[in-house]
Amino acid sequence: MTGRVRRSARRPVAVPARVDVLVLGGGPAGTWAALAAAAEGASVALVDKGWCGTSGAAAAGGNNLWFVPPEGEARERAIETRTREGGFLTDPRRMAAAVARTWDAVHELAAAGYPFPDDEHRPGERYLGSLQGPEYMRLQRRRVRRAGVVVVDQSPATELLGDDDGAVVGAAGVHRQHGNAPWSIGAGAVVVATGGCAFLSGALGCNVDTGDGALMAAEVGAELSGMEFSNQYGTAPAFGAETKGLMYQFATYSRADGTELDIGGMGRPALQRAMVEGPVYARLDRAEPELHQKMRWSQPNFFLPFDKMGVDPFRERFGVRAVLEGTVRGTGGIAVPGEGCATTVPGLFAAGDAASREDITGGITGGGSHNGAWAISSGSWAGTAAARHRPRAAGRATPAGRAGLRPVGRPRGRYDDVVAAVQSRVLPLELNRFRTGASLRESLAVLDPLWEQVVDGLAPADRPGTHSRQAAAMVAHARWMYSAALARPESRAMHLRGDHPDTDPAQTHRLRVRGLDDIAVIADRPREAVIAS
């Protein structure tokens, strides 16, 4: 036999014409949604842009969880602390529900065989507060398939289907490994769990996270929320893409000439301001030697790039950089004001990073812990609610996709050029992390014409309907982010305005964003009034 690789002759998985619940996305939120819907007796299909169980930010890493025991006052203190840190934009009731659901779900994982390690502080018990992505998602895939869910891999959704009354009644997409053959599934309800948008920044596991789900939701009229809090950056070594930040609490930072920087712990804003000024280096020399092996055990993937490069991060300096994580570890996403993470559109639910996480994180990043708990809880709630949703009689299903999918004019742009133009306005710290009214308006003056380009149409890509949709989704996210940021003239949580450096007590409200061609930003009631009502 020659060295030629034999192409698989496998046919696509038999895709059902209709199911009770269709889940878009195969990460933690999507798999928990599928499990919850199947537990209600619903027929369920799950379609993933990549391979369910291996693609996405969770599968590529590992994280602690917002895992708080029910006894004592620990939960109440955790909620109060997060409410303050999040700029008083959270919902304590949903926070309490998320913590409770996460506690139960982790024990479900233990019963299902997840290999939790021994707890060194409690002999005979296991440590349940952390999950390693590969083992976690491998188990979730097995659980989903055992529950009877139809799993369709490498088949990104490109658009939602709507009926004449404005309800969502399914979705459509393409099979990437089979010549972009189309698929279409009717559904009583759809759960969008496609992840956030990291703008192809190179953050580990995030290149599937281009915001496609939020674009599809906006096309059928869904609102978004928290988009001004979508400028989260992770710290990574100059030679790697791993943005886990916990280990940097042990770092000493310095300039290229060795001058030490006065930055305590992880010191994100101070560290990022220093990065704007010039190259920054780090060394994890604040970690005592007896901690080194424990650190490697707790986050083995953090140390992989160092080992590959032959760098001892405890003794040698290494360059660090800021990598945009956008709405993956930021806060903004599809608004889910309804019970069970229902959106503002009938038949459409959202979960995980595709949904706004303001309810449990406010205006700061959920990191791995809170976002991990949100993926579990919101996925579970959305799946259950979608299964219980009672749609009206099925009518005509109309495809809703437009920009990047159905050109309306003469193609006048290319995918690569559009992505580069978006990245030039969202990746730099000086434009996105440290904002001013002037810089936001300058960015929108670039982004608005880009949107017109993707609406008119892009030159054919090697994967029509997927690359161009990604470009459209990234442009849409950048415009939503900066429109909301311009409408919040203050600094709150991760949203920093150089021209409005103070936090305004009168602005404890959320900003809802709607629209694509014309974007509207609407201020909600102050959160104190919402929570008290």
DSSP string, 136-195: HHHHHHHHHHHTTPEEE-S--EEEEEE-TTS-EEEEEEEEGGGTTEEEEEEEEEEEE---
DSSP state, 502? S
3-state class (DSSP) for residue 92: helix
Burial of 226 (0-12, 13-18, 19+ CB in 10 A): buried
Residue 533 has pLDDT above 60, yes or no: no
Percent of the chain with pLDDT over 90: 77
Tell me what pLDDT residue 364 has: 94
Residue 146 has pLDDT above 90, yes or no: yes
Instruction: Average the pLDDT over 136-141 and give the result.
Output: 97
Distances from the Cα of 502 to the Cα of 273, 492, 496, 505, angstroms: 17, 8, 9, 9
* Average pLDDT over all residues of the chain: 92
Whole-number Å distance between alpha carbons of 355 and 226: 10
Q: In the structure encoding, which two tokens stand for residue 441, read together?
A: 């308006």
Q: In the structure encoding, which two tokens stand for residue 122, read together?
A: 């409690």
134 confidence band (pLDDT: 50, 70, 90): very high
Tell me what pLDDT residue 106 has: 96
Range 36-39, long-range pairs (CB < 8 A, 24+ positions): 36/379, 36/380, 36/381, 36/382, 36/383, 36/384, 36/387, 37/191, 37/383, 37/384, 37/386, 37/387, 38/144, 38/147, 38/148, 38/149, 38/383, 38/387, 39/147, 39/383, 39/384
Q: In the structure encoding, which two tokens stand for residue 372, read together?
A: 């991990």
Give backbone dihedrals phi and psi of 235, rounded to 5 degrees, phi first: -95, 130
Residue 56 has pLDDT above 60, yes or no: yes
Residue 429 has pLDDT above 80, yes or no: yes
Residue 367 has pLDDT above 90, yes or no: no
Tell me what pLDDT residue 1 has: 36
Tell me what pLDDT residue 7 has: 41
Tell me what pLDDT residue 231 has: 94
Residue 172 has pLDDT above 90, yes or no: yes
Residue 8 has pLDDT above 50, yes or no: no
Question: What are 306-337's pLDDT values in tens digits?
Answer: 999 999 999 999 999 999 999 999 999 999 99
Give backbone dihedrals phi and psi of 208, rounded to 5 degrees, phi first: -85, -10
- How many other C-beta atoms lie within 10 A of the C-beta of residue 236? 23
Residue 133, H or E segment:
helix 133-146
Tell me what pLDDT residue 62 has: 77
DSSP state, 417? H
Q: Mapped to the 3 state alphabet, what secondary structure does 300-343 carry? A: HHHHHHHHHHCCCCCCCCEEEEEEEEHHHHCCCEECCCCHHHEC
Residue 532 has pLDDT above 60, yes or no: no
- Domains of the chain: residue spans and CATH: 18-230+326-398 (3.50.50.60), 232-325 (3.90.700.10)
HSE-CB of 30 using CA atoms within 13 angstroms: 36
Burial of 129 (0-12, 13-18, 19+ CB in 10 A): middle
Q: In the structure encoding, which two tokens stand for residue 150, read together?
A: 């139809």
Residues 328, 25 contacting (CB under 8 angstroms): no
Residue 346, H or E segment:
none
Question: What are 480-525's pLDDT values in tens digits?
Answer: 999 999 999 999 999 999 999 999 999 999 999 999 999 999 999 8
